[in-house]
Amino acid sequence: MLVSAKEMLEKAHAGHYAVGAFNINNMEWIKAILLAAQEANSPVMLGVSEGAGKYMCGYKNVVAMVKEIHDFLGITVPVALHLDHGSFEGAKACIEAGFTSVMFDGSHFDFDENVAKSKEIIEFAHSRGISVECEVGGIGGTEDGVTSNGEVADPDECANIAALGCDFLAAGIGNIHGKYPADWKGLNFDVLAEIQAKTNGKPLVLHGGSGIPADQIAKAIDLGVSKINVNTELQLVFADATRKYVEAGKDLEGKGYDPRKLLAPGAKAMQEKVVAMIKQFGSADKA
Ligand code: 13P
């Protein structure tokens, strides 16, 4: 059974570790992440962007695929199926389709509109036992065609959104989706500490979790980050392993072109990367 993310993130917050929220794209991603979480005995979140939802033929199909793969593999660790950067309409659709967690990202609206829409999604989701993530301040970079310069969140606005009753809160602190540029200034820990102080111990979310140095990840967790989003990292290891397979001519040996063989090195690389990140975030053996 898929579960809400509320309990796993509250436990993570109390235990000073973070749960990984890994974005999925297709069956290989779902399998690799679920098998990794089971191997590491860790709770896990599967993130679905609206674009990935469309790619996987709609939210209902995503729910059906994840549930069936989860049951078929005999997964016993807690798993939440979470909409990543949802629009108002997307969040409602995912709640109705059977997601167990949603993010409503109203950070690009003016603040009053973000408050009003966040409130409505929180009420709708909570009436069905579904957890909700809200966002204040943009995350830099481009994801799913949406580009943001990455503004640092206002801690008072974070306090207002947290008080609406969302279960966890994403706040821009200099983090960026995609690869970090060489001149990246790093995470803004002063603002992160202030946000946590003003949000009464609400579990915080760190987007753009690919490529952040380990010491900064550890410090962010120390300061209240309980969920870390990872997308690019898995795309990179999948592409790298697949390229090596093809460049070594393995697709031309015997039946190496069989998709089950062609996609296997990438899937294995993703599973290994997820296990490593789970260990780094501290959620191994916390299922
Ligand atoms: P990365 O692609 O940088 O890992 O970011 C993922 C993310 O934050 C999804 O919301």
Residue 185 one-letter amino acid: K
pLDDT at 140: 72
Measure the CA–CA gap between 203 and 11, rounded to whole angstroms: 9
CATH classification at residue 137 = 3.20.20.70
Tally of structural domains, the chain:
1
85-118 pLDDT tens trace = 999 999 999 999 999 999 999 999 999 999 999 9
Q: With a 6 A CB cut-off, is 233 part of the ligand 1 pocket?
A: yes
Confidence of residue 139 (pLDDT cuts 50, 70, 90): confident
pLDDT tens digits, residue range 36-72?
999 999 999 999 999 999 999 999 999 999 999 999 9
Q: Which of 108-117, 177-186, 261-270 has the lowest mean pLDDT?
A: 177-186
User: Is the residue at 12 inside a domain?
Assistant: yes
Give the per-residue pLDDT at 145: 64
Q: Is residue 168 over pLDDT 70?
A: yes
Of 24, 143, 234, the one to substitute when testing ligand 1's pocket (max ligand atoms within 8 A of C-beta) is: 143
Residue 233 located in a structural domain = yes
Write down the pTM of the prediction: 0.96
Query: For residue 172, how far is its CA from the centre of ligand 1 (angstroms)?
Result: 12
Token duo for residue 104: 């409503």
- Output the pLDDT for position 151: 76
For the Cβ of 229 lying below 6 angstroms from any atom of ligand 1, the answer is: yes
What's the gap in Å between 20 CA and the centre of ligand 1? 11
Instruction: State residue 183's pLDDT score.
Output: 87
**Nearest residue (CA) to ligand 1, atom 5:** 208
Q: Is residue 287 part of a domain?
A: no
Q: How far is the CA of 239 from the centre of ligand 1 (A)?
A: 17
User: Is residue 148 scored above 90 in pLDDT?
Assistant: no
User: If you count them, how many residues does the chain have?
Assistant: 287
Within-domain flag for 286: no
104 φ/ψ sector (left φ>0, alpha ψ -120 to 50, else beta): beta
Q: What is the DSSP letter of 176?
A: B
Does residue 105 have its Cβ closer than 6 Å to ligand 1?
no
pLDDT band at 263 (very low <50, low <70, confident <90, very high): very high
CA distances from 79 to 37, 153, 244 (A): 9, 29, 32
Given a cut of 90, whether residue 142 has pLDDT beyond it is no
> Using 50, 70 and 90 to split pLDDT, how confident is the model at 150?
low
Full domain range(s) for residue 216: 6-281
* 53: in domain: yes
Please give the pLDDT value at position 287.
97
The set of catalytic residues is 84
Structure confidence by residue, pLDDT tens digits, 212-229: 999 999 999 999 999 999
Q: For 236, what's the count of Cα atoms within 13 Å in the CB-facing half-sphere?
A: 10
1 assigned to some structural domain: no
Domain membership of residue 218 (yes or no) is yes
- Compute, in angstroms, the gap from residue 273 CA to the centroid of ligand 1: 15
Q: What is the pLDDT of residue 42?
A: 98
Q: Is residue 248 part of a domain?
A: yes
pLDDT of 46 = 99
Average pLDDT, the chain: 96
State the pLDDT confidence band at 137, using cuts at 50, 70 and 90.
Answer: confident
